[in-house]
Amino acid sequence: MRKFDTKVQHLKYQVLKEVAKEAWDDTLLRNFLNIPKIIVPGDEPTMRCCINKERAILAERVKMAMGGNRENPNNIEVLPMACDKCPASGYEVVADSCRNCLAHSCEESCKFGAVYFDRDHRAHIDKDKCKNCGQCAQSCSFSAIVKRERPCMKACKVKAISAEGGKSASIDNSKCIQCGACVYKCPFGAITDKSYILNVIDMLKKSAQGKGRVYAVVAPAIYSQFKHAKLGQVVAGLKALGFHTVVEAALGGDMVALKESRELSEKGFLTTSCCPAFVSYIKSQVPDMLPYVSHNFSPMVEMSKFIKQTDSEARVVFIGPCTAKKGEAKLEASKPYVDEVLTFEELQALFDSRDIELEKLPEDVLDNASYYGRIFARSGGVSEAAAQALREQNIDFEAKPLVCNGIEECMKALLVASKKLKAGQMPEYNFIEGMACLGGCINGAGCLTHSEVKNKMEVDKYGKEAMEKSIKDAVDAVVI
Amino acid sequence: MKITVCIGSSCHVKGSREVVETFKRLIEEKGVQDKVELGGTFCLGSCRDGVCLEIDGQIYSVTPDTAENFFNSEVLKKI
């Protein structure tokens, strides 16, 4: 079974796996320069114009797998050498496709007078006049007008990526929310997330020598991942790697649901705080909404904090679909609780670096959280959980959620809500659920496979398998 | 004395919640609140047995059915 969606992911995985292998063997510092040659051993190029460029880019990928540029606080970085400087010129007429027709519907449709014709009656677009509205492209019977857009810029809804003067992509850290949309969408793998896999290996090694116990806190989105094995086998695999035990972040979701619903009833208006990319957007772009952001921790931090209260020797690694969590874990408020973050992509590399074949392992158990904690992973889940938590706690307050699926919906909702609240008006909803990724965490950039519909069904199924049927039961079972 | 009951997945599905409830009830019934402290942790490393618990560094295994007997014989005896 294919483990990844794209060849770019597979390449990143190969690099991570080799880096991890060397790290386990304590040979990384001696051998890291050889890794590009291990991945492309032949004389002929396999992906780029020449083998030297391929290996040079792979060397950059190795650096990212080893933590990347520490001077740059952003966990998402461009590899300028890997960037193909895709055309970003906006609407253009494709010369071969333009039939030099008589109708000139493109010219008719353009309200800005930007379409003109040469001596051969071939259409052209005047860039100075064009407003990129796309009317001409829609009107052309031959689909001869296309929009030249960089996939990274198209993926980045918060407009943090620029490509001025046809240069390599560049990320504006003040706008970037580290959601990783560009990482998944760049067809050249030229934007990538820094990996802290070495820190995790280091923790596991120390733990094997009796220094600390490493807990894996796994996000509920895991259920739709690693489809070549059963979830119980993934848990067994984590223990085989040396993790002391595996705990559901969803149980932290249950804890958050109880607290956040109380907070909502007390404050009367709230936005969620579980998606770090959403919170980061509010911080940088809509700061007047900050007072309305839930003061509760995300399920990741809540769960990690709880674990550390039960075990003073605990080190916690959060494993999930999210690149933004790498940033959240470094915030002052989360730092004491979350020691490191891995994505599912990185976990697959970690398994394979130790030749752990999940499908051959016996099934272990992962069952603490309720249905509601588990569905935090998908759009609409937090809202359902909050409403349920209000009912379970007999709080007489009606949650009126506005479910924002994807950062674009979040941006619109925050803008409207901020205007209304500033004017002293109450919006028709009182709870904004913000998820930066379309579909929610199940479609995060660090997922092995991305499918909004299939992954949602999987997570709902996982939710229904939970032994505890209510949020309170799940939480009461662990809070002693 | 501190009793640490495993609340991790494996023990949870075997009934750690009932074991904790039984212990809580017995601690109150016997009036030993000041002598027995109850806590939880996510794994005691003996997942194959019943619900695991630790007292003074030693691991024991109980089930929801044997929890009361265990408390009476092992816990009360030692305090």
Q: Complex ipTM, two decimals? A: 0.94
- Domain end (from A168, A194, A220): A194
Rounded percentage of chain A residues whose pLDDT exceeds 90: 92
Q: Is A180 exposed, middle or buried (0-12, 13-18, 19+ CB in 10 A)?
A: buried
Q: Kindly state the average pLDDT of the residues A23-47.
A: 94
Would an 8 Å CB–CB cutoff place A363 in contact with chain B? Answer: no
Is residue A79 within 8 A of residue A68, CB to CB? The reply is no
A477 contacts in chain B (CB < 8 Å): 7, 12, 16-17, 20
Q: Are residues A173 and A134 in the same domain?
A: no
Q: Kindly state the average pLDDT of the residues B28-51.
A: 91
CB atoms within 10 A of CB A155: 19
Distance CA A327, CA B36 (A): 42
Instruction: Kindly tell me if the per-residue pLDDT of B69 is higher than 80.
Output: yes
Residues 305-324 of A with CB under 8 A from B: 307, 310-311
CA separation (Å) from A460 to A51, A265, A398, A455? 46, 27, 24, 9
Instruction: Kindly tell me if the per-residue pLDDT of A104 is higher than 90.
Output: yes
Looking at residue A70, what DSSP letter applies? T
Nearest CA in chain B to A303: B42
Q: Are residues A202 and A189 in the same domain?
A: no
Confidence at residue A3, expressed as pLDDT on a 0 to 100 scale:
81
> Are the beta carbons of B10 and A364 separated by less than 8 Å?
yes
Q: Are residues A288 and A391 in the same domain?
A: yes
CA separation (Å) from A229 to A217, A225, A356, A363? 19, 9, 12, 9
- A222-281, pLDDT tens digit by residue? 999 998 999 999 999 999 999 999 999 999 999 999 999 999 999 999 999 999 999 999
Confidence at residue A453, expressed as pLDDT on a 0 to 100 scale:
83
Q: Are residues A2 and A39 in the same domain?
A: yes
Minimum distance, in Å, between the CA of residue A196 and any CA atom of chain B: 25
Backbone angles phi, psi at A96, to 5 degrees: -65, -25
Q: Are residues A131 and A160 in the same domain?
A: no
User: For helices A344-353 and A7-24, what crossing angle results, to 10°?
Assistant: 50
- Domain end (from A177, A194, A211): A194
A223 contacts in chain B (CB < 8 Å): none
Say whether pTM exceeds 0.90: yes
Longest dimension (CA), chain A: 83
3-state SS class at A370: strand
Longest dimension (CA), chain B: 33
Q: Are residues A189 and A202 in the same domain?
A: no
Instruction: Kindly tell me if the per-residue pLDDT of A6 is higher than 60.
Output: yes
Is residue A215 within 8 A of residue A314, CB to CB? The reply is yes
CA dihedral for A67, A68, A70, A75, sign (positive or negative): negative
User: Which residues, in sequence order, are CB contacts of A279 under 8 Å at separation 6+?
Assistant: A273, A293, A328, A434
Q: Are residues A172 and A142 in the same domain?
A: no
pLDDT band at A177 (very low <50, low <70, confident <90, very high): very high
Q: Are residues A60 and A131 in the same domain?
A: no
Would an 8 Å CB–CB cutoff place A240 in contact with chain B? Answer: no
Partner residue facing B9 (CB), from A368, A473, A476:
A368
Residue type at A74 in one-letter notation: N
User: Which residues, in sequence order, are CB contacts of B78 under 8 Å at separation 6+?
Assistant: B1, B55
A364 contacts in chain B (CB < 8 Å): 9-10, 47
Nearest CA in chain B to A311: B41
Confidence at residue A43, expressed as pLDDT on a 0 to 100 scale:
86
Q: Is A290 exposed, middle or buried (0-12, 13-18, 19+ CB in 10 A)?
A: exposed
Q: Are residues A47 and A118 in the same domain?
A: no
Nearest CA in chain B to A308: B41
Q: Are residues A9 and A144 in the same domain?
A: no
Is residue A186 within 8 A of residue A199, CB to CB? The reply is no
CB-based contacts of A281-286 (< 8 A; 24+ apart in sequence): A281/A158, A281/A177, A281/A407, A281/A410, A281/A411, A281/A414, A281/A434, A281/A436, A282/A414, A282/A434, A284/A174, A284/A175, A284/A177, A285/A158, A285/A175, A285/A411, A285/A414, A286/A414, A286/A415, A286/A418
Would an 8 Å CB–CB cutoff place B1 in contact with chain A? Answer: no
Q: What angle do CA A307, A256, A461 make, to 5 degrees?
A: 90
Strands B58-62 and B51-55: antiparallel
Instruction: Kindly tell me if the per-residue pLDDT of B19 is higher than 90.
Output: yes
B12 contacts in chain A (CB < 8 Å): 367-368, 467, 477-478
CB atoms within 10 A of CB A103: 11
Q: Kindly state the average pLDDT of the residues A10-33.
A: 97
Q: Kindly state the average pLDDT of the residues A406-422.
A: 97
Would an 8 Å CB–CB cutoff place B40 in contact with chain A? Answer: yes
- A132-153, pLDDT tens digit by residue? 999 999 999 999 999 999 999 9
Residue of B5, B12, B38 to mutate when probing chain A, most A C-beta within 10 A = B12
Distance CA A242, CA A216 (A): 10
Nearest CA in chain B to A468: B13
3-state SS class at B53: strand
What tokens does A21 get? 């292998």
- A340-382, pLDDT tens digit by residue? 999 999 999 999 999 999 999 999 999 999 999 999 999 999 9
Between these two residues, A300 and A455, which has the higher pLDDT value?
A300
Minimum distance, in Å, between the CA of residue A177 and any CA atom of chain B: 33
B10 contacts in chain A (CB < 8 Å): 364-365
- Domain end (from A161, A194, A227): A194
pLDDT band at A467 (very low <50, low <70, confident <90, very high): very high
Confidence at residue A2, expressed as pLDDT on a 0 to 100 scale:
67
Q: Kindly state the average pLDDT of the residues A156-185.
A: 94
Rounded percentage of chain A residues whose pLDDT exceeds 70: 100
Partner residue facing A310 (CB), from B24, B38, B41:
B41
B22 contacts in chain A (CB < 8 Å): none
> Are the beta carbons of A310 and B39 separated by less than 8 Å?
yes
Strands ordered across the beta sheet of A270-271? A270-271, A431-435, A401-405
Minimum distance, in Å, between the CA of residue A249 and any CA atom of chain B: 12
Would an 8 Å CB–CB cutoff place A438 in contact with chain B? Answer: no
Q: Are residues A174 and A212 in the same domain?
A: no
Partner residue facing B42 (CB), from A215, A235, A476:
A215
Partner residue facing B20 (CB), from A364, A467, A480:
A480
Domain housing A98: 90-148
Confidence at residue A251, expressed as pLDDT on a 0 to 100 scale:
98
Mean pLDDT of chain B: 93
3-state helix, strand, coil in chain A (%, to 5): 45, 10, 40
Distance CA A370, CA A464 (A): 8
Mean pLDDT of chain A: 95
Partner residue facing A480 (CB), from B13, B39, B47:
B39
Instruction: Kindly tell me if the per-residue pLDDT of A1 is higher than 80.
Output: no
User: Which residues, in sequence order, are CB contacts of A140 under 8 Å at separation 6+?
Assistant: A105, A106
Domain count, chain A: 4
- Whichever domain contains A139, its CATH number is 3.30.70.20
